[in-house]
Amino acid sequence: MIFSKSYCPHSQRVRELFASLGVDYTILELDQVDDGASIQEMLLEITNQKTVPNIFVNKVHVGGCDRIFQAHQNGLLQKLLQEDLAHDYDLIVIGGGSGGLSCAKEAAILGKKVLVLDFVVPSPHGSSWGLGGTCVNVGCIPKKLMHQAALLGQALNDSRKFGWEYSQQVKHNWETMTQAIQSHIGSLNWSYRLALREKGVTYVNSYGEFVEPHKIKATNKKGQETYHTASKFVIATGERPRYLGIQGDKEYCITSDDLFSLRYCPGKTLVVGASYVALECAGFLAGFGLDVTVLVRSILLRGFDQEMAEKVGAYMEKHGVKFIRKFVPVAIHQLEKGSPGRLKVLAKSTEGPETIEGVYNTVLLAIGRDSCTKKIGLEKIGVKVNEKTGKIPANDVEQTNVPYVYAIGDVLEGRPQLTPVAIQAGKLLARRLFGTSLEKCDYTNVPTTVFTPLEYGCCGLSEEKAVEIYKHENVEVYHTLFWPLEWTIAGRDNNTCYAKIICNKCDHDRVLGLHVLGPNAGEITQGFAAAMKCGLTKQQLSDTIGIHPTCGEVFTTLEITKASGLDIAQKGC
């Protein structure tokens, strides 16, 4: 890259040198662009060089005309040029999920040669999918669409109270829904492939495995192997559902890898686990009118605010989802084949010798996920991996202990496991590696929503975590129950929805955590998350005029603290 001015004679000498060496170069004439002066100031700050030409070779600052000719004479220029030629690619991304694709596309935009390797190992039931990773294929997208399908069923029930009259029997058709969802996902898979092609990213549907430093083996579904090298690598392989390790689990149970493309209605379902995946799936399956039971080993929504988690569970239980607490499965037996078949589940108490049995059509496992880091050859190049979790430790710029290897997304240790986080981290990583940016991904105050029948949105700390960090005497919690206006005519549960903020009394009542349980919780939380990034305080919330009548306005009228013990029940809109 040559930064120059159109009238500079020394630039012409540099161009002639590069041309004689057959080197491609880009030149920016600073007197021909509007922001040339500011660019030259930035170059001065970065390089401490006032004059032009100002030359970079493969992101390494060489200097001016004399320096480039000196580098040519002593062999340094050839060495710098060969660093780029020594490898097939500037960047290889292992994993074609949200984070990997974000990083690959951004690197390509910055002019780098990029390869994406993506391969889905089929689940024990044979499920696999296209480009895009978990979120698009077996996560956020199909989950939210099935959640919406269940909400429409509730809306149908509400509609009669609003004057809608219909006499025909209304029922849910699983096959129609899954076909529509899979069709939409297929269109997304295609759009991702097209986006890579348009940006010049090479996409190979093969399994990537390191064989030596800077070198990777790619194996396709036919077992054919190719080898590729790169200057830098990004590991974005994500996670897959965990199995129980008991008799019959992989033979007869399904996971979220299988549910969203299941060709038949699952029928009476046992959901094993209490993660957000477990409760979301249990919620929409019950919303379709299915008999659903959740088998819980310990607590609901580990890592989330436990008051909110229990309210989520209580609402689900009140609306037909059964919970069996403090039990774990020990064996799964097939009683009858079919679509669905019949399975007998034997479970044991976590608190004693008691055992129970139950018969279900489908058993859905949602007990957690394991990082896909064990069979990609990381040990061959010395990348450290947490042996217990399979996650990869990295510094604050996502760099592993091996300098040319980076990790983003769910495989990264100690970071939120959310699609938008991976997308942001991937984009910023590419800009730091191949652009001029120094911006790091900010992993604090990341908002999220659990799409249970009554949605739970949150940003910041749970109440438990806030008390642990700041001590009980320094934390103030403002809270309220509320009744959405849309629920009043429909006769739905009064004083079930709930909102609270957790504030630091020692810092102007700065909001440490914001939590809401109610309709459209994700939409509410997203807006307040931006405010929390700006250092939101309780006073600023009180000074904000709410939009009436909405659910989000409750955060502008919070007056009652938990410490006061006053009644928070609402009697009007």
Active-site positions?
A: 548
CB 376 within 8 A of CB 235: yes
CA distance 328 to 326: 7
Distance of CA 476 to the CA centre of its chain: 31
Distance CA 113, CA 39 (A): 25
Question: What is d(CA 468, CA 319) in angstroms, rounded to the nearest whole number?
Answer: 34
Give the phi and the psi of residue 298 in degrees, each rounded to 5: -140, -90
Q: Are 541 and 556 in contact (CB under 8 A)?
A: yes
The secondary structure element, H or E, covering residue 498 is: strand 497-504
- HSE-up of 73 (CA within 13 Å, CB side)? 6
CA distance 213 to 122: 28
DSSP result, 303-363: TS-HHHHHHHHHHHHHTT-EEEESEEEEEEEEEE-STT-EEEEEEEESSSS-EEEEEESEE
Strands 114-117 and 89-94: parallel
Contact 499, 479 (CB under 8 A): yes
Cis omega before residue 142 (within 30°)?
Answer: no
Type and span of the H or E element at 181: helix 174-198
* Closest C-alpha to 478, from 565, 560, 569: 560
Angle at 429 between CA 427 and CA 434, to 5 degrees: 100
Q: What are phi and psi of 510, to 5 degrees?
A: -65, 140
Cα separation, 343 vs 327, in Å, equals 17
What lies within 8 Å, CB to CB, of 259 at 6+ separation is 138, 266, 281, 364
- Distance CA(57)–CA(73), nearest Å, equals 15
The DSSP letter of residue 537 is: B
Q: How far is CA 421 from the centre of its chain?
A: 5
Write the CB contacts of 231 (distance below 8 Å, at least 6 apart in sequence): 83, 84, 86, 87, 89, 90, 91, 214, 404
- Report the candidate in 339, 312, 276, 289 with the shortest Cα–Cα distance to residue 144: 276
At a CB cut-off of 8 Å and minimum separation 6, what does 335 contact?
Answer: 341, 342, 343, 344, 359
Cβ-based burial of 416 (10 A; exposed 0-12, middle 13-18, buried ≥19): middle
